[in-house]
Amino acid sequence: MWTKADARDVLLRRRNALTAREREYKTLQIVELLCAQEWWHRARTIHTYLSFGTEVSTAQLRECAWKAGKRILAPIVQRTSKSLLHAEITPQTVLLPDSYGIPTPQTPDNVEPHQIMDAHDCIIVPLVGFDAQLYRIGYGKGYYDRFLQHVSTKNAAKPRFVGLAYAVQYSAELLPVEEHDIRLDSIITEWGVVDVESGELLAQMQARLEGIQR
């Protein structure tokens, strides 16, 4: 089993190796799949990361949600406390990059997702990589680990936890898991929706990735 640092380095390099055009095309496929899911249609509130760098873009996702009349919550990184605040955003919300370069809502309002969201809703999380058990690896700061743990503790019926990733971010080797790590419910890639019953899809993904990487 590899270390989290090794996994993060390898999987981030895979993602960064995609061209801008490849990322744009794959993102469209991912968002189309996401917006076609039954649980997406049931959701009334969506909490989503605001993408930066080579992450799967969430711009189209937000447009899809607003057109369907859904509320959108977004995180605000607090570096000092290593935690996330949360704000409701609209198409009119001003987003400016923070010190990490992450688009950040310029709003004084702070909301508590666990007080608003229920089992019908979903939280869209960023990731550097994922494995067959639906564990994710992030950037190593723990912001989302703490957030998802908090929501899981506070919500009797927690929202659905969904990751967005390019297929190249799949790790055939299981990722190291620590006590604070939270398993996702679904991961959307351009090759399909990964969940606990996706053994065949994951095998196909691994075979295709091995062919690409030879």
Catalytic residue annotation:
136, 145, 181
DSSP string of the chain, one letter each residue: ---HHHHHHHHHHHHHTS-HHHHHHHHHHHHHHHHT-HHHHH-SEEEE----TTSPP-HHHHHHHHHTT-EEEEEEEETTTTEEEEEEE-TT--EEE-TTS-EEE--S----HHHH--TT-EEEE--SEE-TT-BEE-SSS-HHHHHHHHHHHH-SSPPEEEEE--GGGB-SSPPP--TT--B-SEEEETTEEE-TT-HHHHHHHHHHHHHHH-
**What is the residue whose two structure tokens read 């995180």?**
75
Tokens of 173: 């080797």
